[in-house]
Each structure stands twice: as structure tokens, then as C-alpha cells.
Structure 1
């Protein structure tokens, strides 16, 4: 071998942010002039270099180059020991390459920064902040948190007393500032305060000074400024409404009530009472002995001549009569409701669902319709009643919930149906739910089912 390379020291210490030189001796023991190139291998190669990068030596001569170690002062290079090698490569005799090895110890350092988020806060009861602490050193650090209020009118508290932060990371310490007294009314008061992050020193170093950050908290009154004006305005409005009632509306109501009490109205009411109680019962269907309409002994009966009891029609005896009651009076309506849900795919043609089919001998009086489009589909929906009578025709994209109430009921005769037809054009996508495959619309209807009276 015509090459000899050796380091002056196999172990060296490097401080972050500084340059450390380690000499390397090269001896050309060959018979020809040789040019040598150098390459640093190992974890420190990113921040190391050999100077000069090329060295030429005559036979029997020796020379010196230096390994320049420049570890950056940041968290990318952790503190501690790492090995390295310097590959010495002759240009003419590549087989004679040698790699002297050594160890470099990167010294630890501590550097922290802090920021208060937000810098100022406001509120009637407390203010909330976060202290963000960054560890820009190359060793883990434990930071003790502290606070100092600017006055005795406020108190600052951290949720944790200290933070442990790895190199290159940041941690947050939550804090709350509370005023010593509550302020119900008045001008807002500002409370300044100061927080600190004191890092503990790394081994072999002095403790760095704590990082200080200033902040402020504005204490607002509990009762807003506009509240008295709002209360006064509300009181004036109430008084105006009361005055309007007594001045205009109340006299009009009294006058309408007096005009409604006519002799004809009195005679009609008396005749109605007599027609409802031909056997001497009261308007509510109770008998002379006080037995109510719900009693089994007197419901729907009256006293005939000679004291014999016989059946007598009494509207109050059994409430509203339905179909088949046999009283001969017009059948009262039965409240009826129904619902239907129809689904339809895109491009498949319209799809129809039946909500209600009116039975024989009855007529359905439709008064209320509620249509729901929960998915937000697009297309058309059509509601029909009694054959081809179209009640509603709506665009699905125009609503999610839509209700309709008819003052004049829609008459649906016996044997007819109330249906809903959907023609889907685009399937909606509900928020926070899987995308459905088809359009889906629901309808709820209400009304009165009446029995047809015999002619």
C-alpha cells in the first residue's frame, strides 16, 4: 500500500454554531506523484468538509488536511457522540483507498422562545390564553411556567406548572386570568400581566434566563351598555300596546259583542236547548236526578207516560256518532292521517306511492299536507287526490320541508286515492352521511273521514 492516513486525534468535541478543525496526516509512500481526494462519511457528513478538498504529494512526501466540523445551532443535530470516517482516495490507485475513523461529540445547548396566544383578551368573568413554548435547542428541556399580574385586581393561573419539550417541538400551556371582583356596570377595565417560561439548564450549562411575555385582559361589565335602553324601549312599547288596547280594540270588541246579542239569537239558543232535551234533561244530557251522560242507567233514555222507560235520541249520550251508529243524524268526521315515502332513481322514470285510499261509503276531506325532502334531492314531486286532480306540483330543489293547509277541504270521494309521484333528476347528498343511491321524499297528510249520508 502506497498511502498512509492518520488523524491527530480520534475523538473531538464540537460546539453547535462553531467551527472545529481536526488535522489529518497523509503520507505518499509510493513511487509516483499522487493526487488524493477526500470524502466524509457518517452522520456528520452534512455539516463537515475536508479542506483542502484535493492534495497532491510527491513520492515520500507527507501533507496535512483538516476536517472542518460545523454543527448548526438548532434542533436538527442532537447532542451526543457520533462516529465518522474520512475516505482518502488516490486518483491513480483506487484500490489503495483508506478510511481513518474517529468520534465527534456535539455539545448540548438550550434555547427556548415563547409566545402568548392571543396577546390580549376580554370578557366579563375571565380571559383565556395559551403560552406557546418552542424548544430550539438540541436536548429535551423542562420549562417551568409562571405568571405575575400587573395589579392586585386580577389573578393568573396555569393548568400545568411545567412543560417537558423535546428538541424541535413546541408545547402549549393554558392559562386563565380572573378578576378579583365582578363588575356589573361601568367602563371596561384593562388588567396587564406578565408570564414567564424558565427552562432548566442542560448538564454542564448555566440556567438561561427565563423568557418573559406581556399580555393584557380587558374586564367587561356583566350587564351590557345597551340593556337599560332596551328595557326602557320595551317598557314604552308595552305601555303603547296597552293604551292601544284600551283606546281602540277593547271598545270595538265590546260593541261587536253587544251587537251579536239580538232577540233572534236569544230565541235560537233557547230553541236549541229545548230540542236537545225533550224529556226534561238539561243541555248537557244529564237527567233530572243529576245522572250524567256517562252513566249506564240513564244514557240515551227518557221517562215516558206511566213511568215506563223508553229509548229517546240524545246527542249528548254517546258523543260524536260515527258510521253505523243508527241514530239517523249526519255522521261526524273522524280525524284521519296517513303518510307515504317514495324513492326513485335517476333516469328510471317517475315512481308513485299511495298514501291513502278512501273506503266505500266515505268521503275524505283533505286539509293538511306536509312534504319532506331530507336529502336535498332535485326533481319534481306531484300530489294528486281523487283520480287526476293535481293538488301540488313542486320542485324538490326548492325545499326541504314544506307544509300546506287548506281552509276549504279538498273532497276525495270513495274509492279514490291520495298519491305522491316523484321524478328524480339528481340525488342529494346529506351533510355528514353516506351518499344515498336514490331520491327519497316523504309526505304526511291529515284531514277528516266522513261517512256518506243515505239519501
Structure 2
């Protein structure tokens, strides 16, 4: 053995675009005095997407062979942009100590690709709605991403936090987007405002993706309430125009007839009271038995069905992004029969309200879907002694009351009507 193996790359610098290919050649020469086989292996950062064809050659002494080196980086974040070393290890099978590694420099060109989503795509509210815009950097270079929401008209105003993100290749980021209407809709049908959020890298010439969203603005007062107010106004007008004059005329005529009859008939002397009889004004004449009971057929004031009629209110104020619970407890020895519940969301808060009667969940409702909500039952809901009617409020965003200034807390009122009775006791 008088010499050694040698190998040489045709190009020492290559440029390749992700998704494309680049090739060069490697010449292997056998300077040994024996027949030798050579294994060819790619080493370095480019090994994952570089191949040698063929990967093994056998050479007689003093001969050489040229093989093809093919580079094919994928169009993904795995093939990072920049300069990377490329090495081909040439390993003689019989004499591995004579291995050599010719090298070259590979430049991977950058490309930009973003993928954006908006969640939820459609939201409902009286004045504003919140969304989450997320973007993923599918390119092979870092990207500074800017978010620009917009609408065809000037009906909505937007706020993005944060306004910009810097993403490494393969990374995902998220921002909060708020859409706010310029004015409230007091009556009428819901109005849909479409908009889009454009996402673009700041240092790229090509435009980025855009995502579409919708804000459905609800009327503060439902349409049926407007019809009810119109009906009430019509009834009031009818009363003042027709019924009230007729009632006053009938009452005046009846009074005049009574005065005429009294003046035409002489007054008779009052008979002497019998012994032991009660005189007018004597308490015994109003209640011969002395028990003080109400007249037959007239239940006691504030009672119905053997129990006291109650009307209680649960006032709950929950902090922003927090939870609060209010309750109406049933006293010991009593039982509460609920017939009506009215819920008031007068600020237009956003969040969740859960009403329970003891262990029974009556309803769970999103705050942004109502301003006033009422429930009525023919068969009352019974709540036993020592239990409570509870209202659990999870505040997502306080609303804006009639003053026009956004509240700092969510504020809900739950009105409960029903009968509070004594709990029957077994003898």
C-alpha cells in the first residue's frame, strides 16, 4: 500500500430553495494498490434532506468514479434559512483509517408562509364582542407579524392586543381582537357586521392571509316589548277617551238620584236598641265572637293557599373575569313554592348565570343573550327547609349601563315570587 484514497466535491458552495433541488458531484479515486470499496455518507445539518447516488462504489487501483449529490430541502420550517456545512464522509471498507470528508457550504433561501384562524368566527352582543386571532409561522425564517382588522364601512371600531408578534419558524402566536359598534340599537332586528383581520409579515413583499369574522349586534329592547308598549298606550288612550267619561257620567247620575230620593222621603225615627244589643260603633257589633277573623271568602292579606306570598330579590355583583354567588335561603320549618322568576341584566354584561333551587338546576344562560328574562310555572318548584335558591354569576366582561360608562363589575338581579308555607309536621 503506497497511497491513500481521495475525494473531491465539484462545487464548494451551493444555493437551494426550499421545495426545490440542487445537485453537485463527488469524485472518488482509489490511490491504493488493492481493489477497495467506499461507503459514502452525508454528515452535517443537511443530512436529513441530502442523498448520494450511488451510496457505495468499488474501485480498482488507480481508477476513480463520480457520484451525484442531490439536495432537496422541504418547504417547511424544518429547513431553516441560512448557511450550513455539507460534508460527505468517504469511508474505505478495508482501510477505514484512511477516511476523508470533503466539505461544501449550502445556502438555504428563506420563504414566508403564515396560517391564520379566528375563533369564534361569529359572536352576538349589544355593543361589543371579543375574538381570538391565532397565526402560525410555516416559513423557514423568523417573522414579525402585524394584525390589521378592518370593515367596509365605519360602523365598527377595533382594538388588537398585542398589535404585533414575532414568531420563530414553526411557532404559533395569539392576539385578542375586540369589535365595538359605534352606537346601540334600541329596537328592531339584529344587524350583522362582517369584518376581516389581515395578517402580514412586516419584512415580506407578499401579502399575508386574512380571516373573516362577524359581529351580530342585538337590539337592547326586544321587538315584542315594542308591540306591548304600543298596545298599552292604545289601551290608555281608549280609557281616557271612552271608558273614563262613561264611568264618571254614571257615577254622577247615581249620586244625583240618591240625593233626590233622600230629599223626597222623610227620615224615620231610629228604634230603641234592645237590651244587651250592640250599638253602632261598639266593637262587639263588628265581631260577635271576639276572635278578630277576616270575613268569609276573603283570605288574609299577603297570603294565598295557606302560606305567605313572598317576593324576594337576589342581588349579585361579580368582579371582571371572576365569579360571585347570591342566595335566598329558606328558613327552618318552612317550605318555599316558586311560581315566578325574573332575571334582569340591565347593564348588558357578558358571562354566564346559573340559577339553582336547592340541588336542582333551574337554568344556565349566557348573559349576552338577554336583558330581561322571566320564567313561570303552573306547578310550583318546591324548595325545602334549610335549602336556598342560589344565583351563580361568572363575569366575562361588564356591560355599559344607560349612563354610557362601562361598569367595573357584572351586576345581575334575580327576583323570586312564590309562597312560603309552614312545613307539615307528622303527629
The TM-score, its normalising length taken from structure 2, stands at: 0.52
Q: CA RMSD in A?
A: 3.6
Q: How big is the shift at 1:149?
A: 0.8
Kindly tell me the number of residue pairs found equivalent between the two proteins: 257
Q: Paired residue for 2:4?
A: 2
Which residue, out of 130, 135, 160, partners 1:158? Answer: 160
Q: Paired residue for 1:212?
A: 210
Distance across 1 between alignment mates of 2:218 and 2:424: 53
Which residue, out of 52, 55, 66, partners 1:50? Answer: 52
Which residue, out of 159, 163, 179, partners 1:177? Answer: 179
Q: Which structure has more RCO (C-alpha within 8 Å, separation ≥ 6)?
A: 2
Max Rg structure: 1
3-state SS of 2:32 partner: coil
Say whether the 8 Å CA contact 2:332–2:386 is kept in structure 1: no
Q: How big is the shift at 1:105?
A: 2.6
Distance across 1 between alignment mates of 2:201 and 2:129: 26
- Which runs of 5 or more residues in structure 2 are unaligned? 234-282, 292-330, 335-358, 360-383, 389-421
Q: 1:369 to 1:190 in 2, by over 3 A?
A: closer
Distance across 1 between alignment mates of 2:16 and 2:176: 38
Q: 1:400 to 1:56 in 2, by over 3 A?
A: farther
Q: What per-residue deviation string (whole Å, max 9, x for no partner) do you get for residues 43-92 of structure 1?
A: 22111111121223222111111222221111122222233321112233
Q: Paired residue for 1:385?
A: none
Say whether the 8 Å CA contact 1:151–1:192 is kept in structure 2: no
Q: Paired residue for 1:168?
A: 170
Q: 1:402 to 1:161 in 2, by over 3 A?
A: closer
Q: Paired residue for 2:98?
A: 96
Q: What per-residue deviation string (whole Å, max 9, x for no partner) do you get for residues 203-235 of structure 1?
A: xxx511232222222111111335457889999
Q: How big is the shift at 1:93?
A: 3.0
Say whether the 8 Å CA contact 2:333–2:385 is kept in structure 1: no
Q: 1:33 to 1:117 in 2, by over 3 A?
A: same
Distance across 2 between alignment mates of 1:129 and 1:402: 39
Q: What per-residue deviation string (whole Å, max 9, x for no partner) do you get for residues 138-166 of structure 1?
A: 11111122122122222233233322112
Distance across 2 between alignment mates of 1:135 and 1:115: 12
- Which runs of 5 or more residues in structure 1 are unaligned? 236-257, 267-366, 371-375, 377-398, 411-455
Q: Paired residue for 2:222?
A: 224
Distance across 2 between alignment mates of 1:51 and 1:6: 15
3-state SS of 2:62 partner: coil
Distance across 2 between alignment mates of 1:23 and 1:400: 91
Q: Paired residue for 1:11?
A: 13
3-state SS of 1:95 partner: helix
Q: 1:55 to 1:408 in 2, by over 3 A?
A: closer
Q: Paired residue for 1:146?
A: 148
